[in-house]
A and B are shown apart, each in its own frame.
Chain A
Amino acid sequence: MPTTVDVTTPSDREIAVTRSFDAPAQLIFDCHTRPEYVQRWLLGPPDWSMPVCEIDLRAGGRYRYVWRNDAGEGEFGVQGEYREISAPGRLVHTETMDGTEGEALCTLTLVDQDGRTTLTTNMLFPSREIRDQALESGMTDGMSTSYDRLEDVLGEKVA
């Protein structure tokens, strides 16, 4: 079954990303909370890896992810604190990107129905300016390798 990601902006300060998966909720939950799994898929552009993935999975526990460009040209990290852990349906944590001000509150919701799972990640930012920055820069500023290419394309279309 073809699946596509849906991105919406429910309010001035939010981004919601929804997608369905052909897998049970618990497996998807594990893929978000076990370092050996997280490091396999949460990677951004193709030439980036995640050498650092530390997860202390308990309410009040912290996590830290660091991505690195294979060419050694860039490094970028995020960190935060777990607020609520209710496997397999719900995971709430804060998120701060390296080099930025302000903390986002991220809520992962997994709804299992007839063997398929609908995943929703809702990100609530401290202000709409920070929300828009996150939206504009793609997943992370440091990983936006196609940024310049997009500007070229936009330049052609609107010139």
Chain B
Amino acid sequence: MMQPQNLDATFSALADPTRRAILGRLASGEASVMELARPFAMSQPAISRHLKVLEEAGLIRRGRDGQRRPCHLEIKPMIEANAWIERYRELWEATYQRLDSLLEEIGAATGPTGE
């Protein structure tokens, strides 16, 4: 299982639209920094900075293929971060549905004026 500090890095990394777009591009296959920079109208150093954040969050992996060093998607942390939030949300959903029922019951017993 993922370490808590990584979860936070994942959320921070996903907060940026350029980084989400990079992940979207990598979902269709590996790419070099040059290939990634092309559609974004950004300098390679700017893209490299985004890649560093994504790499530190464990969302991508850099290859060791000589100069090219292609980037790969490392999807696991993203799935885990979303799963934890979603599971937490579902617990509250179930809990608040019980509150809905109780509110309805109390509301019916006390009438619309609250008396």
Contacts and interface: CB of A to CB of B under 8 A. Distances in A.
Chain B at the A interface: mostly helix, strand, loop or mixed? Answer: helix
Interface stretch (A2-10, A90-98, A103-111): A2-10
B84 A136 contact: yes
A142 interface: no
A12 interface: yes
A44 B95 contact: yes
A30 B79 CA distance: 38
A61 B109 CA distance: 30
Nearest to B1: A151
A5 B106 contact: no
B102 A139 contact: no
Interface residues of A, number: 42
Contact of B100 (A4, A21, A154, A158): A21
Given A151-B1, A158-B75, A31 B102 contact: yes
Given A26-B114, A139-B91, A19 B96 contact: yes
Contacts of B35: none
Max chain A C-beta neighbours (<10 A), residue from B11, B85, B101, B103: B103
Given A135-B88, A136-B84, A31 B99 contact: yes
8 contacts: A4-B93, A7-B88, A9-B85, A22-B103, A31-B106, A43-B95, A135-B88, A158-B80
Interface of B: 1, 4-5, 7-8, 11, 75-76, 79-80, 83-85, 87-89, 91-96, 98-104, 106-107, 114
